[in-house]
Amino acid sequence: MSKIAILTSGGDAPGLNACIRSLVRTAIFHGIKTIGIHRGYDGMIEGDFFEMDAGTVSNIIQKGGTILKSSRSERFKTPEGRETAFQQLKKAGIEAVLVIGGDGSLAGAKYFAATYPIPWIGIPKTIDNDISGTDYAIGFDTATNTAMQAIDNIRDTAESHNRIYFVEVMGRNSGSIAYKTGISVGAEAIYIPETNTDLEHLFDVFERGWSRKKSSLIVVVAEGDEAGGAFAISKKVKEKFPQFDMAVCILGHVQRGGSPTCNDRVLATKLGVAAIDALLSGQKNIMVGEVKGEILYTPLENVVKRHLEITPAMTELIDILSI
């Protein structure tokens, strides 16, 4: 193995740069030349390649975003697009590809690898933490910490004004950010796509809170909650309690950016080293993950979207702590 390519693909997440740095430095350590691919699969199709050295990744471990840029590529979803990508890789003498991506990017890698002889290694990143084969994907820890800090700030203003806040966090199909963040900010209620939003229960929580003179209430809602998100839920609550002062805050893309947490930097670094190790030991078409502190290799064909499982104990935890 003398020449590899690396890219970031799909929605960005904090920690991508830490992983890029780890891949490049580990490759150089083993005498492997690293080619960076700009703009995900679109850049692969267009041959937007450049050589990386140890200096290319200096001083990026703490930075959000991705120095390689990212994209969503419709062309890579087609056999013609993947054929062009293969020709570009072949022309550049690439012997293996390492992609840092979510379940979509890893599916793309799987389809490519099924047709062409170049080995692939995937590294999981997603702020929703919804990829099987790893306890945590790169970006989730930072996204939850960013949301937690923002909601702590909202709690201050909610307290000052005796106000109810409905805070919407990211998660179109996943309540992972909402659940973890909601626990960490002491939310009075948490609504996520994985559970049925019971407004009668929410009304009870509000009445109980107000009767014991709570001066603020925070409801954390995942954007994909089946009740329609924070605005829809707040509207229904306003109809029931018109006398209450209420506000909605949509946190949005702040959760994708920012300096990665210590956990994300360390995870990204470990997965980068493990990815190069896997390649050197002859593994191919796998994703590297970390489960219970140990590196785990999962064939790309077995990597699936993981759904957050809400146990009765998790629901009870929220109820007990919101009294």
- Minimum CB separation of residue 25 from ligand ADP in Å reads 24
Number of Cα atoms under 13 Å in the Cβ half of residue 13: 31
Q: Which helix (H) or strand (E) holds 176?
A: helix 176-184
- Window 24-43: contact mask with ligand ADP (x via CB under 6 A): -----------------x--
Longest dimension (CA), the chain: 71
* Nearer Cβ to ligand ADP (85/279): 85
The CA distance from 75 to 66, in Å, is 21
Q: What contacts 221, CB < 8 A, 6 or more positions away?
A: 166, 167, 168, 169, 178, 190, 191, 192, 227, 229, 230, 233
Out of 111, 116, 241, 244, the only residue in the binding site for ligand ADP (CB under 6 A) is: 111
Structural contact between residues 192 and 276, judged by C-beta atoms closer than 8 angstroms: no
DSSP bridge pairs for 305: 131
- Window 1-20: contact mask with ligand ADP (x via CB under 6 A): --------xxx---------
Does the footprint of ligand ADP cover residue 171 (CB under 6 A)?
no
CB under 6 A: which stretch of 15-23, 27-35, 90-98, 106-114 binds ligand ADP? 106-114
> Per the residue annotation, which of 12, 42, 103, 128 is the catalytic one?
128
Binding to ligand ADP, residues 58-87 (CB under 6 A): 72-73, 76-77
Out of 15, 43, 104, 289, the only residue in the binding site for ligand ADP (CB under 6 A) is: 104
Whether residue 128 lies in the annotated active site: yes
The CA distance from 75 to 91, in Å, is 19
Structural contact between residues 271 and 113, judged by C-beta atoms closer than 8 angstroms: no
- Window 119-138: contact mask with ligand ADP (x via CB under 6 A): -------x------------
Backbone phi, psi, residue 186, to 5°: 65, 40
* Nearer Cβ to ligand ADP (39/155): 39
* Positions that interact with ligand ADP (CB under 6 A): 9-11, 41, 72-73, 76-77, 101-105, 107-108, 111, 126
Active site residues: 128
